[in-house]
Amino acid sequence: MVVAITYRRIIIPLTTKSFQIKQHQVIAQNVHHTTLTGKPFRYWPGQFMMIQFQTPGITREWHPFTISSAPSDPNLTVSMKESGDWTATLSKLTIGTKAKMEGPYGKFSYQVLSKDTTGYVFMAGGIGITPLRSMIRELCHGSIDRPITLLYNAKTMPDFAFKDEFDALMKQHPNLKIVYITSQEKTVVRFGRIDANCIQEEIKQIPEQQYFICGPKPMMTAVRQTLAGLGVARTHIHCEEFSL
């Protein structure tokens, strides 16, 4: 307990970065997308920050949020979903709100791998799209010379964040494939979940790909087990655990 208090009171104030909200909007059902301005810093696509917003109506707690922008983007963004008492107050964020940030943290990024991989498969459940969006955007800033696939699972169509953006990226990059999957609404997109049938129908050379999975813990566990059953080595499966 003493160590934790010391960390929050001494270490964080010495290492925090000061930012201010430049733009704030709701981009999908209960998903807030926030653009921040401040002194640029280096980070890997897929990493996360500890953030404290400083505005009336929101308690000054530190929470982990993935950086949803890419390092090559001109602006820093974080994308957050209302999913509890604290996040229910995100609607109180406004342009000009100040924020303290600490980090970046995490190794959930394709940049920790060797560059000779066959291809990348990103698997998202709900708001788990945020670190994957960061990685996909960074890859799209360059020349995509290998297949990249995103399997994006959400409950209904309004739950898909960044859909228009992803559709535009697919038109620009022939090697980028995005499959939308709804689990509670039958529409023009694929219906169900990211299961063995889905993976076998949408992915080529399954054992050779590198897989990045982010979403609810039960979803990540199920997908990881499915990939193992399809012959994918543990070293090719990467899950976001928000570890410091």
pLDDT band (50, 70, 90) for residue 216: very high
Can you tell me the distance from the alpha carbon of 221 to that of 194, in angstroms, rounded to the nearest whole number? Answer: 12
188's enclosing H/E stretch is none
Q: How many CB atoms lie within 10 A of CB 207?
A: 11
- On whether residue 138 sits in a domain, the answer given is yes
Domain containing 44 equals 2-104
Closest of 107, 194, 186, 102 to residue 150, by C-alpha: 194
Pairing status of strand 237-239 against strand 120-125? unpaired
In this prediction, residues 206-211 reach a mean pLDDT of: 95
Q: What angle do CA 214, 217, 220 make, to 5 degrees?
A: 50
pLDDT band (50, 70, 90) for residue 144: confident
Strand partners, 191: 182
116, pLDDT greater than 80: no
Task: Give the domain-ending residue among 83, 104, 125.
Answer: 104
Residues 136 and 47 in one domain: no
Can you tell me the distance from the alpha carbon of 230 to that of 25, in angstroms, rounded to the nearest whole number? Answer: 40
| Mean per-residue pLDDT over the chain, rounded | 90
Residues 96 and 11 in one domain: yes
156, pLDDT greater than 80: yes
pLDDT at res. 242: 56
124's enclosing H/E stretch is strand 120-125
- On whether residue 244 sits in a domain, the answer given is no
In this prediction, residues 140-147 reach a mean pLDDT of: 88
Task: Give the domain-ending residue among 47, 77, 104.
Answer: 104
In this prediction, residues 116-125 reach a mean pLDDT of: 93
How many structural domains comprise the chain?
Answer: 2
pLDDT band (50, 70, 90) for residue 244: very low
Q: Could you report the per-residue pLDDT of 169-198, keeping only the tens digit for each?
A: 999 999 999 999 999 988 878 999 999 999
Tell which wins on pLDDT, 150 or 242. 150
115, pLDDT greater than 50: yes
Task: Give the domain-ending residue among 104, 135, 150.
Answer: 104
In this prediction, residues 79-90 reach a mean pLDDT of: 88
- On whether residue 114 sits in a domain, the answer given is yes
φ/ψ region of 213 (left if φ > 0, alpha if ψ in -120 to 50, else beta) reads: beta
